[in-house]
């Protein structure tokens, strides 16, 4: 294997009630690469992303992240709380709505994972939190309350909080969709710098120009299926499938030259 796979999904299926939201998805993310997940609303992008860290437990399929693998094919025992938690602790996730803990200060948010989950001494966790806050440009906000921050600042805290677990991969679910346009750039800049450091990332995004410029590969989903997958520039600029073309035609004004 020339490129090592960091995330590997094989035959993943998920239904909510009678609706099959993920239909036999197979997806790989190479170590150190960035994969962007695009597609229309309701196509199952979030569900797929949430399957990677088991926030949504699939009905069927095989999921591996780094060294950890879980098999959901029929006949396998469902993982318990302990296994699920251990699995999730190795991945970082950033949500559209930030989901910072409102009753904790910024630094406490970042310390929460290391202190509670990794049992890191508080002093060490605080040092780590300050390093990470500096990294996302918020060194001066350590003691602030989340509700005093702008959306862009909150999302950067959320990224720092996820990084504090020293994750093997980072998952982003429309990390900039809830932001005012002028705040999008500061968050994308942080994601870009993580990509430059070689962080393995899977991100759901509606920022096509960003996907084209930062992602190595782009995956287009529709109705719970992967319709097209390939090098980022190729999928976004010269898609081969009509469905991909139709979807991307909505974005052309946002796709200026890079």
Partner 1 sequence: MQYQWDFGFLLQYKGLIGVGVLYTLAFTIGTAVSGLVVGCMIALARLSNMRVATAVVTGVIEIFRCTPVLVQLVWVYYALPILTGIELSPSVAAFITLTLYGASFFGEIIRGGIISVDMGQWDAGRALGMRRHQLMGDVILPQAFRRMVPPLVNQTVLQLKNTSLLSVLAVPDLLYQGQLITSASYRPLETYTMIAVIYFIILFPLTRFAHRLEARMSH
Q: Return residues touching partner 1 (CB under 8 A).
A: 53, 55, 81-82, 84-93, 95, 97-103, 112-113, 116-117, 158, 161-162, 165
**Binding residue for ligand ATP, selected from 29, 34, 46, 70, defined by CB under 6 A:** 46
Cα angle 32-2-48, degrees, rounded to a multiple of 5: 50
What are the residues whose beta carbons fall under 8 Å from the beta carbon of 210, sequence distance 6 or more? 36, 188
| Residue 47 in contact with ligand ATP, rule: CB under 6 A | yes
Q: What is the dihedral of CA 147, 149, 151, 152, to 10 degrees?
A: -150
The residue among 15 and 28 lying less far from ligand ATP, judged by its C-beta, is 15
Interaction partner, residue 97 (Mg ion, ligand ATP, partner 1, none; CB < 5-8 Å by kind): partner 1
65, HSE (Cβ side, Cα atoms, 13 Å): 22
CB of 182 to partner 1, least distance (A): 24
Q: Is 41 in the site for ligand ATP (CB under 6 A)?
A: yes
Tokens 């909080």 belong to residue: 161
- Is 46 a binding residue for Mg ion by CB under 5 A? The answer is yes
CB of 111 to ligand ATP, least distance (A): 30
SS3 state at 85 = helix
**Segment contacting Mg ion by CB under 5 A, of 45-53, 71-79, 127-135, 161-169:** 45-53
Residue nearer to partner 1 on the CB measure, 115 or 195? 115
Q: What is the spatial distance between Cα 194 and Cα 169, in angstroms, rounded to a whole number?
A: 11
Alpha-carbon dihedral of residues 170, 175, 176, 177, nearest 10 degrees?
150
Q: What is the nearest approach in angstroms of partner 1 to the Cβ of residue 106?
A: 14
CB 187 to partner 1: min, Å? 17
- Cα dihedral sign, 20-24-29-35: negative
Nearest-approach distance from CB 196 to Mg ion, in angstroms: 26
Radius of gyration from C-alpha coordinates of the chain? 18
By CB under 5 A, name the binding residues for Mg ion.
46
By CB under 6 A, name the binding residues for ligand ATP.
16, 21, 39, 41-47
């Amino acid at each position: 294997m020339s490129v090592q796979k960091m995330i590997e999904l094989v035959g993943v299926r998920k239904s909510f009630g009678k609706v099959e939201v993920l239909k036999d998805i197979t997806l790989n993310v190479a170590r150190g690469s960035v994969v962007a997940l695009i597609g229309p609303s309701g196509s199952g992008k979030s569900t797929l992303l949430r399957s990677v860290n088991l926030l949504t437990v699939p009905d069927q399929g095989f999921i591996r992240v780094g060294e950890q693998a879980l098999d959901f094919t029929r006949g396998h025992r469902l993982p318990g709380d302990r296994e699920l938690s251990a699995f999730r602790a190795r991945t970082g996730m950033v949500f559209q709505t930030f989901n910072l803990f409102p009753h904790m200060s910024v630094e406490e948010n970042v310390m929460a994972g290391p202190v509670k989950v990794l049992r890191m001494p508080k002093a060490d966790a605080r040092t780590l939190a300050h390093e990470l806050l500096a990294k996302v440009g918020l060194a001066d906000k350590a003691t602030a309350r989340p509700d005093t921050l702008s959306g862009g600042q909150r999302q950067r805290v959320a990224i720092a909080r996820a990084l504090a677990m020293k994750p093997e991969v980072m998952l982003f679910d429309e990390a900039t969709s809830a932001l005012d346009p002028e705040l999008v750039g500061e968050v994308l800049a942080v994601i870009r710098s993580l990509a430059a450091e070689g962080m393995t990332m899977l991100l759901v995004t509606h920022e096509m120009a960003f996907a084209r410029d930062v992602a190595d590969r782009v995956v287009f989903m529709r109705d719970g299926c992967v319709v097209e997958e390939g090098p980022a520039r190729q999928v976004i600029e010269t898609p081969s499938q009509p469905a991909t073309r139709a979807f991307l035609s909505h974005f052309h004004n946002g796709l200026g030259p890079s």
